Amino acid sequence: MTETRKVIVVGAGIMGAGIAQVCAQAGLQVFFNDIDEQALGKALERIVWSLGKLAAAGRLSEEKETILSRIRLFPDLSVAVEADIAIEAVYERLDLKQNIFRVIDQSCGPRTILASNTSAIPITELASVTRRPDKVVGLHFFNPVAMIQVVEVIKGIETSENTMQASIDFVTTLGKEAIRVESDIPGFLLNRINLVSYVEAIRLVEQGLAKIPEIDKGVRLAFGRKQGPFETGDMVGLDVSYGALMAIYEESKDPRFYPPQLLRRKVKAGYLGRKTGKGWYDYDAGGNRKLDLA
């Protein structure tokens, strides 16, 4: 594949917005797609806010407006044929992702790499619905995309070495470090480590052994993390974590990954974290956390 210059990002959620932003910051032309034009508008507002925060901290090498000019919003895939790489970034549901892969496979040119930002769904299953399984790869970014400097590059059964190397080069272009994953086992590498500890933290709360703020504080202070498991869970979205856990569990049948009852109840109640104002913690309209739970 030639040098990546044009990227299409499909899905205007938190992850899609973050990926579009870092691509634009890296000097790439970004075609940002979602069938929901209102969602695209909100995603652009999120990008403007994020770039403003980075500019205020002196962390942008260009003017905010220059970066924003590289992002073009599209409710259809008419421009997909121009892309060097297409990145799907929608909810963790196999049928939804496969439907999108069928569409972008038809819409993109033959040289385009098709990538998924999935955190748990096997790349091979996504590649199976396309005519180019050798050009399908996993690119697992972490939230917040602008801040976290690692991306998992995941190989499906038929992913070619050329596709892997081109994808690693793309990640490097974004100023991030690529972690190469040689097989698309459920959850890949980092989520298999992180989600087990998240599940255990929830179970400790269910058993009444500690309060949520105490666990978060302990993890921050003892392990040197910037956030505890529940703080991270609210940032990522409880529904996203639930979807990833179920994808791993359904594929592996490993009980360590079955979502605890407390997480299942919160998702059913719509307590999904910062984006809904309520998750493990409560948040005000500005997304700031209210007083810790008692």
DSSP letter for each residue of 6-40:
EEEEE--SHHHHHHHHHHHHTT-EEEEE-S-HHHH
Is 152 catalytic? The answer is: yes
Question: Residue 283, SS3?
Answer: strand
Sign of CA dihedral 78, 7, 86, 10: negative
Is 62 catalytic? The answer is: no
Cα–Cα distance, 217 to 213 (Å, whole number): 6
Catalytic residue among 33, 116, 117, 119: 119
| Cβ pair 23, 37 in contact under 8 A | no
Is 250 catalytic? The answer is: no
Helices (H) and strands (E) in the chain, counts: 11, 8
Catalytic residue among 152, 167, 241, 251: 152
Is 251 catalytic? The answer is: no
Token look-up 């997480």 returns 263
C-alpha distances in Å from residue 130, one per residue of 45, 60, 88, 116:
33, 38, 14, 13
> Angle at CA 152, nearest 5°, toward 217 and 90?
85
Catalytic residue among 107, 167, 191, 241: 191
Catalytic residue among 33, 92, 116, 140: 140
Tell me the catalytic residues.
119, 140, 152, 191
